[in-house]
Amino acid sequence: MADGAPRDPEQDRRLERRLERTEQRIAELEAQVEGLQDALYRQARRGDETHEQLLRRTEPERIARELSDDARRRGL
């Protein structure tokens, strides 16, 4: 303390416990954030793959080719 008064050992112990709990909670929150980031990344990758598949399936040339193949199979 600034005035040279003795420190209260009980208060120091309480502050130390509080600091330890806070550090533990921060570590838990960091782990949760990392997990969320990983999940978000995986979801974004799946979305990108789905989008690419849809783009390929809806290319005009591919649609025309598949319609033509289907018509031939059906004898139209």
Residue 46 domain flag: yes
Q: Is 44 a domain residue?
A: yes
Question: Would 9 be classed as within a structural domain?
Answer: no
List C-alpha distances in Å: 43 to 24, 36, 47, 53, 59.
29, 10, 6, 15, 25
Indicate the pTM of the whole model. Answer: 0.58
Query: Do 1 and 7 contact (CB within 8 A), yes or no?
Result: yes
Q: What is the mean pLDDT of each run of 10 residues along the chain (76 residues)?
A: 74 96 98 98 96 92 92 89
Q: What is the pLDDT of residue 3?
A: 66
pLDDT value for 75: 87
The backbone region for 8, taken as left when phi is positive above 0, alpha when psi lies in -120 to 50, beta otherwise, is beta
Domain assignment present for residue 2? The answer is no
- Joined together, the tokens standing for residue 39 give 């999940």
Which residues form the domain of 73?
A: 31-76
